[in-house]
Amino acid sequence: MTCADYRAVISAHLDGELAAGPECFAHPSICADCAAWLAAARRLRELTLAARGPSSQRSQRLVDAVLNTVAAQGRAGDDGTSVAHEES
């Protein structure tokens, strides 16, 4: 495995997406670059988990704005004309 492969597996493990075996965590003990990367990834995870997120009201406004934008794009082409949708 390459350093990029180890980092991908460890990253997925830190995100809770994948269970990484001990061999993945042994690699940073022999690779200084991956050890530094792992320390930074762990610190970023700590900071992210400790950060306050937006309020639920702010989150809902953001979701609504995105959905409205997507809906408007479905109703109009780039030039503002109506877009015909064909049935499959």
11-42 residue pLDDT tens: 988 888 878 778 878 889 999 999 999 999 99
Residue ranges of the domains in the chain? 3-50
Q: Find out whether 74 and 83 touch, Cβ atoms under 8 Å.
A: yes
Distance from the Cα of residue 36 to its chain's centroid: 21
Model pTM?
A: 0.56
Residue 49, Ramachandran bin (φ over 0: left; ψ between -120 and 50: alpha; else beta): alpha
